[in-house]
């Protein structure tokens, strides 16, 4: 990372730290959403962008994570700090199970994607009939005073959630930048580029794919806990829905698969463009359900046709922080197979 990039990053982080001081609650909620998508995108990117395994069922980990922490809190009054560990543990276990089945039987590509969808949908319908956590009627957490800050139970004002999301996104960025530069990252990229060649070089392909799967799922489950606490409600039809999984993958794809800043840029672009479109339509007096998703779809179509490597790599070159993407340049070869 060159000096220019480091400087820009520090300035950005400082700006984000100060944001709640002068931003309206609307801007703050938008920023929280962007950071949350940046975080989940980063988590998904480990599995797809680094290790090359296309998961289309990441909503599964959001849902299980969210429900685990929320149910503990709802039924036993056990706070989210403990629930978080249960969420991580459960999701790691589920990911290990799915990963074991898939990678043992050498299921990859489209088949792997379908397997992940099947597990997510299976769980969604299961939770629809799981009355202990409210079934399809949903699970609701008590909405507390938004002014008082209760860090022990993570109940507090929007600014608390904003800083939580900022911390998550920042930590994920640091983790991924470390991963890319260290042994796991190189192994994953080797597997992504050519699994057989990686195997021939003595890389334990199964082990490293499992690791990517478990890490990605565990990170995603934390976002699930965050969503449960932030929105105070969980519905299987929303949290487990395939639309959720698609939302997670849009950011990294638009930003640039396998890059470090792709998920962040992608999340910001996507959220802002969808918001602008919604505002514009509201101003024009057009109120349509599905408009946001339509905008997502059009952006996705545009990016995949005209910018198959995402917006980050060309942007980085323009901004003169090319060095950053040199390490990410491997992502380019994702498309040269």
Residue 115 makes CB contacts below 8 A (sequence gap 6+) with: 57, 98, 101, 102, 107
Half-sphere exposure of 192 (CA within 13 A, CB side): 26
Rounded to a whole number of angstroms, the minimum distance from the CB of residue 122 to other proteins is 4
How would DSSP label each residue in 235-265? Answer: -HHHHS-HHHHHHHHHHHHHH-TT-SSHHHH
Count Cβ atoms below 10 Å from residue 86 Cβ, excluding itself: 19
Q: Is 282 in the site for other proteins (CB under 8 A)?
A: no
Task: Please list every residue from 67 through 106 that binds other proteins, using CB under 8 A.
Answer: 101, 105
Q: Is 128 in the site for other proteins (CB under 8 A)?
A: yes
Helix (H) or strand (E) holding 165: helix 158-181
Q: Is 273 in the site for other proteins (CB under 8 A)?
A: no
Name 233's bridge partners: 140
- Is 86 or 270 the residue whose CB approaches other proteins more closely? 270
Q: Is 54 in the site for other proteins (CB under 8 A)?
A: yes
Rounded to a whole number of angstroms, the minimum distance from the CB of residue 121 to other proteins is 5
Binding residue for other proteins, selected from 301, 314, 317, 326, defined by CB under 8 A: 301
- Is 127 or 261 the residue whose CB approaches other proteins more closely? 127
* Token pair of 287 as six digits: 């109120």
- Is 78 or 117 the residue whose CB approaches other proteins more closely? 117
Q: Is 126 in the site for other proteins (CB under 8 A)?
A: yes
Judging by beta carbons within 10 Å of its beta carbon (0-12, 13-18, 19+), is residue 233 exposed, middle or buried? middle
Binding letters toward other proteins, positions 305-334, x by CB under 8 A? x--x-------------------------x
Specify whether the backbone of 106 is left (phi greater than 0), alpha (psi in -120 to 50) or beta.
left
Contacts with other proteins, residue ranges (CB under 8 A) = 48, 54, 101, 105, 107, 109-111, 113-115, 117-119, 121-122, 125-126, 128-129, 242-243, 246, 249, 253, 288-291, 293-294, 296-298, 300-301, 304-305, 308, 334-335, 337
């Amino acid at each position: 990372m060159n000096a220019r990039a480091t400087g820009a990053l520090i300035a950005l982080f400082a700006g984000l730290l100060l944001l709640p001081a002068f931003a309206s609650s609307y801007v703050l909620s938008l920023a929280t959403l962007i950071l949350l998508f940046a975080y989940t995108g980063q988590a998904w990117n480990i599995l797809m962008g680094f290790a090359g395994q296309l998961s289309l069922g990441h909503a599964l980990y959001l849902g299980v994570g969210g429900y685990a922490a929320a149910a503990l809190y709802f039924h036993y009054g056990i706070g989210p700090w403990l629930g978080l560990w249960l969420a991580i543990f459960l999701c790691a276990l589920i990911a290990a199970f799915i990963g074991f089945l898939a990678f043992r039987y050498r299921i990859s590509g489209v088949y792997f994607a379908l397997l992940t969808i099947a597990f997510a949908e299976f769980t969604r319908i299961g939770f629809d009939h799981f009355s202990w956590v409210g079934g399809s009627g949903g699970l609701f957490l008590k909405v507390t005073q938004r002014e008082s800050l209760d860090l022990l139970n993570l109940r507090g004002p929007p600014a608390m959630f904003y800083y939580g999301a900022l911390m998550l996104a920042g930590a994920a960025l640091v983790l991924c930048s470390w991963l890319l530069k260290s042994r796991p990252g190189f192994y994953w990229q080797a597997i992504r580029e050519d699994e057989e060649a990686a195997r021939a070089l003595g890389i334990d392909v199964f082990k490293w794919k499992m690791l990517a799967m478990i890490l990605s799922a565990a990170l995603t489950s934390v976002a699930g806990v965050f969503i449960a606490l932030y929105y105070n409600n969980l519905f299987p039809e929303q949290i487990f829905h395939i639309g959720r999984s698609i939302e997670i993958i849009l950011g990294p794809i638009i930003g640039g698969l396998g890059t470090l800043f792709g998920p962040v840029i992608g999340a910001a672009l996507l959220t802002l463009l969808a918001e602008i479109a919604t505002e514009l339509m509201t101003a024009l007096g057009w109120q349509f359900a599905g408009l946001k998703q339509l905008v997502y779809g059009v952006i996705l179509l545009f990016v995949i046709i005209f910018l198959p490597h995402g917006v980050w790599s060309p942007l980085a070159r323009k901004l003169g922080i090319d060095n950053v993407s040199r390490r990410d340049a491997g992502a380019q070869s994702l498309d040269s197979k």
